[in-house]
Amino acid sequence: MKFAVLVFPGSNCDIDCYKAVEDTIGQEVDYVWHTATDLSAYDAILVPGGFSYGDYLRCGAIAQFASVMNEVKKAAEAGKYILGICNGFQILTEAGLLPGALIRNNGLKFVCQQERLEVANNKTAFTNQYSQGELITIPIAHGEGNYFCDDATLAELKANNQIVFRYAGDTNPNGSVENIAGISNKAGNVVGMMPHPERAVDQLLGSEDGKRMFTSILNAWREQHGAAVNG
Partner 1 sequence: MKATVYVTIKQNVLDPQGTAVQGALHTLGFSEVEKVRIGKYLEVELDTNDRAEAETRVKAMCEKLFANTVVEDYRFELEG
Site residues for partner 1 per CB under 8 A:
57-58, 61-62, 65, 93-94, 99-101, 103-108, 146, 148-150, 175
On whether the CB atoms of residues 139 and 113 are closer than 8 A, the answer is yes
Which is nearer to partner 1, 103 or 205 (by Cβ)? 103
Residue in 17, 86, 115, 144 annotated catalytic: 86
Own/partner long-range contacts of 53-56 (Cβ < 8 Å, ≥24 apart): 53/8, 53/9, 53/10, 54/10, 55/10, 55/87, 55/144
Q: In the complex, what is the shortest distance from the CB of residue 75 to partner 1, in angstroms, rounded to a whole number?
A: 22
Residue 64 or 129 with smaller CB distance to partner 1? 64
- CA-based torsion, 17, 125, 67, 140: positive or negative: negative
Q: Is 86 a catalytic residue?
A: yes
Closer residue to partner 1 (CB): 129 or 184: 184
Beta partners for 117? 136, 167
Active site residue 198: yes
Minimum Å distance from CB 142 to partner 1? 14
Report, in Å, the least distance between residue 91 CB and partner 1: 12
Q: Is 71 tagged catalytic?
A: no
Q: In whole angstroms, how close is the CB of 179 to partner 1 at the nearest point?
A: 15
Q: Which residue among the candidates 71, 115, 118, 198 is catalytic per the annotation?
A: 198
Burial of 134 (0-12, 13-18, 19+ CB in 10 A): middle
> Which of 23, 150 has the CB closer to partner 1?
150
Q: Could you tell me what percentage of the chain is helix, strand and coil, using 3-state DSSP and rounding each to the nearest 5?
A: 30, 25, 45
Catalytic residues: 86, 196, 198
